[in-house]
A and B are shown apart, each in its own frame.
Chain A
Amino acid sequence: MLGYTLLLVIAVALGFFLVAQNRAVRVADGRLADLHSRPSYHGLYSLLWALIAGVGVLALIGIGGSWLVTSTLLGRIAAELPEALRIEHQLVLSDAQAIARGGIPSAVDALREAIAEDFARLDAIRRWGAMLAALVAALAAGTLTLSQVATPFRARNRSERIVRSLLLAAAVIAVLTTIGIVLSLIFETLVFFDNIGWRLDKFLFGTRWSPLSGVMEGRMDPERVGAIPLFAGTFMITIIAMLVAVPVGLFAAIYLSDFASARVRAVAKPMLEVLAGVPTVVYGFFAAITVAPFVRGQSTWIIPLLLVALSFFLVSVGLILLDRIVPGSGRRLRGAFNGLGAIVLYVVGAALMLLYTYSVNPTFSFNVASESALAAGIVMGIMIIPFISSLSDDVINAVPQSLRDGSYGLGATRAETIRQVILPAALPGIVSAVLLGVSRAVGETMIVVMAAGQGANLTWNPMEAVTTVTVQIVMLITGDTEATVAAGPAFTLGFTLFIVTLLLNILALRIVRRYRELYD
C-alpha cells in the first residue's frame, strides 16, 4: 500500500517535471536564451520539490503513525492487563496484528480479537492518511514551484543546491548506519545488563553460559550468563585458523612476489581470488561434510602429526629463547654434529612428545568430537588464506625495489633479502593484515554455525566441540525462545563482537597508514 503510494508520488513528481518544463518554454515565448535556466531545470526543480514533499510526508506519517498506533494499542493492553509484563503486552499485540492480517497467532482470546479490530481500524486510517497526505503534499509543493517559473528564475542553481544536499545525505548514510548499529546494539545491551542486575563481572568473567535456562519471570540468572566459554571457544578457533592462514598465506605471498615466474603467478593469483570469492556458507558445508569427518576418521595419524608439529614449534621457540638469553648458544646448538644439530633437536623433541603421549595413552586412540574446534578452525584458516596472502602481497610489493637492489648488490641471496630486509620493512603491513584476518575470524559466522559445537564448553582440547560468540548469537535469535527475552544476550554478544572487531580494524588501519607514510 505504502509502496503504491510511493510510486504514485513519483508519478506525480514526473508529471510536474513535464508541466514545469512546458511552462518554462511558454514563458520564454520562443526566446529560450532569455531564460536564466534551461526548461529542463525548471522541470527538475518542480520534480525535486514534489518528490521531497511527498516522500517526506509519506515517511513521516507512515512510520511515525505506525509508532503511534503501536503505542496507543500497547497502552490499551496495559490498561487491560496491568499485572502482566511488558513482554507479554507485546506478545498480545503481535498476536492481534497476526489476527488482523490473517496470519497465525500464538493464542486467540477476547482481548486479542478486540485489539485486532482496533489495530485493523487504526492501521487503515494510518495507511489511507499517509497516502492522502503524501499526495496532497506533493501536489502542493509542485504547484507552488510552478508559480515560480519565470525568465529570471534561477532554477538551475536552486536545483543544484538540492541535488548537492542529496549527495551529502547519501554520504551521511554510512555514518547513520554506524550510529544505527551502535544504538540498536547498545539499547538491548543495556536492557540485558539491567536484567542481570548490572553484574557485568558475571557476564565478562563467568564460566557458565546458559542464559535462557535460568529465566525467572523475565529475569535472568546472573550465574548463567558467563561468556568466558564463548570467548575461549572463539579464541581457540581463531588461533587454529591463524595457525593455518598466517604461514600459508605469508609464504604464498612471499613466493608469489619474489620467487614465482609470471606463469605461476598467472595461475596462482586467480586461484587465491577464487578461494576468496567462495561464500562462507560453502566453507561451512565443506567443514561439516568433508573436513570434520576426515579429522574424526583419520585422528590416528592426524593427532600424532599435530603433536610432532607442536614439538617442532616448541623446539624452535626454545632455540630462539635460548639465543636471547645466551647469545649465540642457539645457533651453536643448531650447528652441532656437523650441522645436523637442528635435525637432531627436532627429532629428539618429536620423540619425547610421542613418548609422553604413549605413556598417557598407549593405543593412541583419541576421541575427536564430530564438531571439533580443529575442523572448524582449519576451514576458517583456509578461508582466511587469500585474505592474508593478498594483503601481504600488497605490502611486500610496496617495499621499494631499491631496497631489494641494495641487498642483492651486497651479495645477499633472495632468502636473505626477504628475511632480513623485506620482511622487517613490510612487518607493519603484515601485522595489520594479520589483525584484519583475526577480526574476520572472530566475526565469521557460517563456518562455526555449521561445523563448530553449540554447547558452551570450556576446554583446552581442540578435539572437543566448542562454541563461539557468533554461534550463540545465531542460536539465540533463531531459537524457539520469545525474541524479546533472547534479544538481550544476543545483542550484548553482538555489541562485544562489534567493539572487538572495531578496535582490531582501527588498530590495523592505523598501523597500515603509518606504514604507507613511510614509503609513499
Chain B
Amino acid sequence: MVDMTALSRVHGSAAAQGRMRRRRRAEVRLKVYGIAAILLAGLALVTLLWSVIGNAQGALTESYLTLAPDIAAEGVTADSDAEALRAVNFDGVTKDTLKAAFPDVTDRRERRELYAIVSSGAAFELRDAVLEDPSRIGEGAPFRFLASDDTDLYLQGFFGRLEDRAHSGQARFTSSDDGETVDVFLTANDLADTLLIVKERLRGSARTLRRQAALQDAGVRAFEREAEGATGEAREEALTEVRRRSDQRDRLIAQAEELEDRASRPSVAEEIGRSDPSILLRIGDTGWVKLTEVEPTGGRGVVLGPFETESVVDPSDWSYFVLDRPEAARSISDRQIVWIETLRSEGAVERQFNTRFFTSGNSRQPELAGIWGAVVGSFWTMLVTFVVAFPIGVLAAIYLEEFAPKNRFTDFIEVNINNLAAVPSIVFGLLGLAVFLTFFGVPRSAPLAGGLVLALMTLPTIIIASRASIRAVPPSIRDAALGLGASKLQTSFHHVLPLAMPGILTGTIIGMAQALGETAPLIMIGMVAFITEIPGGILDSASVLPVQVFSWSDFPERAFEARTAAAICVLLIFLIIMNAFAVFLRKRFERRW
C-alpha cells in the first residue's frame, strides 16, 4: 500500500530534481528538433531560390562581335532590288567576314571552329538589316554579329577567366622543324608554378590509380578466402581470379608509382594534356602560343596567332595566361578563346542586356531563344481556364450552398469534388488527351485544350473556396432580402454573391496560380512540342512557361541552363504577383461578420 500523502514529499526531493533535469533535457531536445526542421525547410527554400537565381544571371546578357562584312563582294550594290538582295548568301558573307578577320585560319576544322564563335542567327539578322537599309552594302559598314552561346558563356566568365600571371624573363621563340610548333626559351623560371599545377594533376591521377588498386586488392583477398574454403574446380576458378586481380593491382600500383616519381621531381618537363589547365602566351598584339610541353624556363607550344619568331621579346611585350578549366571540360577551345581575346583587344566585343530573351519565341539556339512565345501561350491558356472554370465554379458553388437539397446525390457531388482535388495532375492530362483531343478533336498543343484541362483541375479549388466564401455570408443578409420579397435566385445573385465575391476571387486567383505552374497535364496534350512562333489565338500551337522550362532543361547546351533558370524566375514573378494580389484582396475586403 502506497502512502499517497507521503508521496507529495517526492516532489521536492533530490531524485525529483534529477528527474526534472532529464525531463527538461527531453524538452530541449524536442525544441531543437523543431528548430532544426524549420531551419532545414528554410535552407531548402534558400538553396532552391539561390540555385535558380544564381543560374539565371547567365541569361541576362548577350554578346556581339562587331565586324565589317563585305557584302558588295556578292555582286550586289546599294541600288539592287530586294529580290537580288534576298538572293545573297548571307551565311557565306558572315563566314567570309570571319575568314577575313583571321586570314591565317586555313584548316577546315579550324574554320568550322571559327564560324562557331558567332550565332547561326547572325546571318539572318544581317540579311534583315541589309534589306532594311541597303546603303550598308557600299560602305562596308560594321555590323554587330550576335555571338554564339559558347562565346557568350566564355565572355561571362562561365569557363573561368584567363589569369594574367606575373613573369620576369625575356622570351625567345624558335620555330621547330615542322613549322607547326615553336620552342620557347625564357631567361627566368617563370613557368615553374605552372609546372607545379601539372605535377599536382599527376599526383591526383596517381591517387585515383591507387584507389582502383585498393579495390582490386579487396577482391584479391575475397577470392583468397573463397579459395581456402573451396575445392576442385571452384578453387581453381577462385585462384585464377586471384591471379588476374593481383596482376591488375600490381600494374595499377606500378603506374601510380611512376606518376608519383615524375611528380616528385620539380624540374622535369611535362606534357600539358587536354585535362590540364590551358597555358597561353601572348606576344605583341596578335601573337599567341599555346604551350603543349612545359618546364620551368620554357617549353614547346603551338602557334595560334601569328608573330615574328627568332627574336628576343622583352617581359613587357609578352604575357602569360593560365585558364584553370581544362579544354576537355569546356565547350570552347583554346583557339576560339584566342580569337575572341584578339577581337576583344580590338574593341570589337560588346555585351549588353538580353532583351531578345524577353521578346522572342523559342529556338534551338540558346542565344536566340526567348520566352515571349511561352508567356503568350500561358496567357491564352489561362484565359481559357478562367473563362471556363470561373463561371462554372461559382455557379456550382452557389448551387451547392444555396439550392442543393440534402440528399445522397448532393453528397455524391461533394465527395466527387473533394476527390477531384487530389487526383494526380497527370491523370487530368490523360483525360484531356482522350476526351478533348481524341474525342472532341481539339487541335493538339492548342491553348484551348490546355486551358480546358487546367479548368477541370482548377474547378475543385474554385468551388471549395467559393463555397467557403458564400457560407461566410451571414444568413441575416439572406433573410433580409427574402423578407423584402426577392426570390431565392435574386437573393443569391444580388446580395450573397457580391458579398462573397472577394473571397471567391481570392480562391480563383490562387487556383489560377496553381494552374499557371502546372506542367504534367500539358505535356500529355502535346504542349511540349517545339514551337517557334508566337501563338496568335487559342487554336494555334503553343507552349506555356512551365512546359518551356521543362523542355529547355532537357536541352544539352550549357547556355540553356541559364535560360531555364531565367524562365523559372519569370514564372515565379508571375506567381508572386498573383499571390500578392490574392493576399491584397483578402486583406482589403476581409470582413468578419
Contact = CB atoms under 8 A, between A and B. Distances in A.
A and B, direct touch (CB closer than 8 Å): yes
Interface string A147-184: 00000000010001001101110111111011011001
Where chain A touches its partner, the secondary structure class is helix
Nearest to A412: B23
B524 A477 contact: yes
B7 interface: no
B32 to A, nearest CB: 9
A248 B524 contact: no
A74 B33 CA distance: 66
Given A177-B456, A184-B430, A494-B430, 10 more contacts: A167-B398, A168-B403, A173-B392, A173-B459, A181-B428, A277-B575, A280-B517, A281-B519, A382-B41, A478-B523
Interface stretch (B312-320, B338-346, B565-573): B565-573
A181 B425 CA distance: 12
Where chain B touches its partner, the secondary structure class is helix
B422 A439 contact: yes
A275 B572 CA distance: 12
A187 interface: yes
A175 B439 CA distance: 19
Nearest to B550: A281
B426 interface: yes
Contacts, number: 268
B47 A290 contact: yes
A506 B396 contact: no
From A249, A285, A443, name the one whose CB has the most chain B CB atoms within 10 angstroms. Answer: A285
B235 to A, nearest CB: 23
A490 B430 contact: yes
A467 interface: no
Closest 4 A-B residue pairs measured CB to CB? Answer: A255-B34, A443-B424, A279-B517, A184-B434
Q: Classify chain B: how many residues form its interface, as a range.
A: 35 or more
A450 B520 CA distance: 11
20 contacts: A63-B440, A164-B403, A174-B459, A177-B431, A184-B431, A185-B427, A255-B37, A259-B30, A282-B572, A290-B48, A290-B51, A361-B218, A415-B23, A443-B423, A443-B426, A445-B520, A477-B433, A494-B427, A497-B427, A502-B419
A485 B420 CA distance: 28
B423 A247 contact: no
Contact of A494 (B400, B416, B426): B426
Contact of A363 (B37, B214, B395, B398): B214
Nearest to B402: A167
A506 B419 CA distance: 7
Nearest to B31: A259
A278 B554 CA distance: 20
B430 A491 contact: yes
Contacts of B516: 279
Contacts of A295: none
A175 B463 CA distance: 13
A450 B550 CA distance: 8
B568 A282 contact: yes
Given A255-B31, A271-B45, A66 B441 contact: yes
Contact of B430 (A171, A185, A339, A413): A185
Nearest to A181: B431
Contact of B546 (A180, A281, A288, A415): A281
B234 interface: no
Nearest to B54: A290
A163 B550 CA distance: 43
Contacts of A436: 422
B27 interface: yes
A469 to B, nearest CB: 9
B37 A446 contact: no
A382 B572 CA distance: 18
Contacts of B593: none
Given A168-B399, A255-B31, A442 B424 contact: yes
A443 B425 contact: yes
Contacts of A490: 430
A374 interface: no
Contact of A251 (B36, B42, B391, B571): B36
